[in-house]
A = this chain, B = another copy of it.
Amino acid sequence: MWKSTGKLADGREIIYFDESAGLGRAELPDRRDLSADTVPAHDQAAAEAELRWDRIVGEWVVIAAQRQDRTFLPPTDECPLCPSTPGRLTEIPAPGYDVVVFENRFPSLRGVVSGDIGLAPRTASGPARGPAFGRCEVVCFTSDHDASFASLTPRRVRTVVEAWADRTAVLGAAAGVAQVYCFENRGEEIGVTLHHPHGQIYAFPFITPRTQQMLAQARAHAAAGLGNLFDDLLAGELADGSRIVARNEHWIAFVPAAARWPYEVMLYPAVRAPDLPAVSEAARAGFGEVYLDVLGRLDALFGIRMPYIAAWHQAPGTDPFARREFGLHLQVISVRRAPGKLKYLAGTESGMGVWINDVTPEAAARSLREAR
């Protein structure tokens, strides 16, 4: 894997992850004039986007008004994620790429390069607002506009894993970054605005609510003398077996016992690691086999491209307990509960945080094992 870094016309970073050496892609200049129609990448943060503390529930919320005008379902011949051609300049100056990462043109969080302006820990009387500090990156999985993650080769998946691990390590080491989050939204049903196969990476200046909850549970588990929560969970799933969907030597995919979504699959490495950079070479190489199998089953389930969110849960970089005890995993959730029926987050979920799932986890696992 060959990594090279360049700059886009407005100063945003672009990073190529190539499967062949000597392509010189990062040296290609971005010939667009972006001075008029783009918010400069590294300023205006305070004026345009900010974090606000929701004091009633104790969580940060991102207010990012400038994103309302972001690119929305452009026709294929205007896709900004395809490689540039002589007649049409896109976000990627090169005429081709394997995997490419660049700073989002319409970011919710920005400013990582400008130094440590991360948030101080909140107290009851602490600040109610902060800069929308962090970074939002786009990861293009392939230059093929009509592909999907499920259609990638295992080799390409490996390159994507290397890109995720690289960004986790680089952004996680940046001053003021508390946590790095790699994810993919797939499908118009969940609001995807660009069809080209891509994911996103967020560098947060705070530890996210779900991660905080997981760390609190892991701490309570350890404090009760029960050992490691994530190891326990995985051992329990392996012993039970009824919710396992796919596995190989290095990864286990299962529907969680308390699944919230109609089709929800967790992928855990067989050997616990806090984050992607800590995963062994062998396990990185073995990931594609299991994940492509799971994605194929999700698409086969109803015979349609399944909308999904794929979320990498990684340890925050700064917490010694998390580095030692957190269990990296990929959570894949789908909002489709039947052909023609979506799972909506209505009154109980959105109002109270109580999930109601209409599909039993065991039935979901059985359906996925049989789908192919």
Contacts and interface: CB of A to CB of B under 8 A. Distances in A.
Interface of A: 52-65, 67-68, 72, 108, 123-125, 128, 181, 183-185, 190-192, 200, 202, 204, 208-211, 213-214, 216-217, 220-221, 223-224, 226, 229-230, 233, 256-260, 309, 311, 313, 331, 333, 337-338, 341-348, 350-361, 363
A352 B311 contact: yes
A347 B311 contact: yes
B217 A55 contact: yes
Nearest to A354: B208
A342 B190 CA distance: 10
Contact of A214 (B56, B128, B190, B200): B56
A79 B87 CA distance: 57
B260 A61 contact: yes
A202 B358 CA distance: 17
Contact of A181 (B125, B185, B309, B351): B351
A62 B359 contact: no
Given A56-B256, A190-B344, A346-B190, A123 B224 contact: yes
A345 B345 contact: yes
Q: Which among A217, A226, A354, A363 has the greatest number of chain B C-beta atoms within 10 A? A: A354
Contacts of A125: 224, 226
Most chain-B Cβ atoms within 10 A of its Cβ — which of A53, A65, A192, A204? A65
Contact of A357 (B62, B200, B337): B62
Contacts of A357: 61-64
A255 B183 CA distance: 30
Nearest to A211: B352
A57 B257 contact: no
- 3 A-B pairs with least C-beta separation: A191-B344, A311-B351, A209-B353
16 contacts: A52-B258, A55-B229, A61-B260, A61-B357, A62-B357, A64-B358, A65-B363, A124-B226, A184-B347, A191-B342, A191-B343, A191-B346, A209-B353, A211-B352, A309-B350, A345-B345
Given A58-B213, A124-B220, A226-B125, A65 B351 contact: no
From A223, A224, A360, residue with most partner B Cβ within 10 Å: A360
A124 B61 contact: no
Contacts of A258: 52-55, 60-61, 63, 128
A264 to B, nearest CB: 10
A345 to B, nearest CB: 6
